[in-house]
Amino acid sequence: MNYGQVCSWLNSIAVKNAASTELRLDRIQCLLRLLNNPERCFKSIHVAGTSGKGSTSTFISSILSSHGFKTGLTLSPHVESITERIQLNNVPISQTNFCALANEVYPFWQQCETKFGLPTFFEVITAMAFLYFAEQKVDYAVVETGLGGELDATNALNSEINVITPISLDHATILGDTIEKIALKKAGIIKPSSKTIASCSSAAFEVIQKAAHERNSRLSSLNRDFFYQIKQNDLTCLTFDYISKEFRAFDLKPHLLGAHQALNASTAIAACRQVVQLNDQKTRQAIKTAYLPCRLEVVSRDPIVILDGAHNPEKAASTANFLRETFPNGIQLVMSILERRDPINILNQLLPVASSVFFCFSTF
Q: What digits encode the pLDDT tens for the residues 39-59?
A: 999 999 999 998 899 999 999
Residue 19 has pLDDT above 60, yes or no: no
Signed CA dihedral, 188, 189, 193, 195: sign only: negative
Q: Residue 303, preceding bond cis, omega within 30 degrees?
A: yes
In this structure, of 116-130, 185-199, 349-363, the range with the lowest mean pLDDT score is 349-363
The better pLDDT of the pair 6, 50 is held by: 6
Residue 294 has pLDDT above 70, yes or no: yes
Instruction: Write down the pLDDT at residue 142.
Output: 98
> What's the rounded mean pLDDT across residues 115-141?
94
The Cα–Cα gap between 22 and 11 comes to 18
Instruction: Write down the pLDDT at residue 175.
Output: 63
Give the right CATH number for 3-289 from 3.30.499.10, 3.40.1190.10, 3.30.450.20, 3.40.30.10: 3.40.1190.10
Q: Pairing state of beta strands 195-198 and 161-164? A: parallel
Contact yes or no for 9/102 (Cβ under 8 A): yes
Q: State the SS3 of the chain.
A: CCHHHHHHHHHHHHHHCCCCCCCCCHHHHHHHHHCCCHHHCCEEEEEECCCCHHHHHHHHHHHHHHCCCCEEEECCCCCCCHHHHEEECCEECCHHHHHHHHHHHHHHHHHCCECCECCCHHHHHHHHHHHHHHHHCCCEEEEECCCCCCCCHHHHCCCCEEEECCCCCCCHHHHCCCHHHHHHHHHHHCCCCCEEEECCCHHHHHHHHHHHHHCCCEEEEECCCEEEEEEEECCCCEEEEEEECCCEEEEECCCCCCHHHHHHHHHHHHHHCCCCCCCHHHHHHHHHHCCCCCCCEEEEECCEEEECCCCCHHHHHHHHHHHHHHCCCCEEEEECCCHHHCHHHHHHHHHHHEEEEEECCCCC
Please state, for a pLDDT cut of 90, what percent of the chain lies above it: 73
Tens of pLDDT, residue by residue over 238-272, are 999 999 999 999 999 999 999 999 999 999 999 99
Average per-residue pLDDT for the chain: 91
Q: Where are the domains of the chain?
A: 3-289, 297-359
> What's the rounded mean pLDDT across residues 325-344?
86
Instruction: Write down the pLDDT at residue 274.
Output: 96
Domains 3-289 and 297-359 in one fold: no
Instruction: Write down the pLDDT at residue 210.
Output: 95
The better pLDDT of the pair 118, 93 is held by: 93
Q: Nearest 5°: phi and psi at 221?
A: -130, 155
Tens of pLDDT, residue by residue over 167-218, are 876 655 556 568 888 899 999 999 999 999 999 887 889 999 999 999 999 9
Instruction: Write down the pLDDT at residue 123.
Output: 95
Q: How many CB atoms lie within 10 A of CB 302?
A: 5
Instruction: Write down the pLDDT at residue 134.
Output: 98
Residue 228 has pLDDT above 90, yes or no: yes
The better pLDDT of the pair 335, 37 is held by: 37
The CATH architecture annotation of domain 297-359 reads Alpha-Beta Complex (3.90)
Signed CA dihedral, 280, 285, 290, 296: sign only: positive
Q: Note the pTM of the prediction, 2 decimals.
A: 0.93
Distance of CA 274 to the CA centre of its chain: 19
The Cα–Cα gap between 264 and 64 comes to 15
> What's the rounded mean pLDDT across residues 267-288?
97
Residue 10 has pLDDT above 60, yes or no: yes
> What's the rounded mean pLDDT across residues 216-225?
96
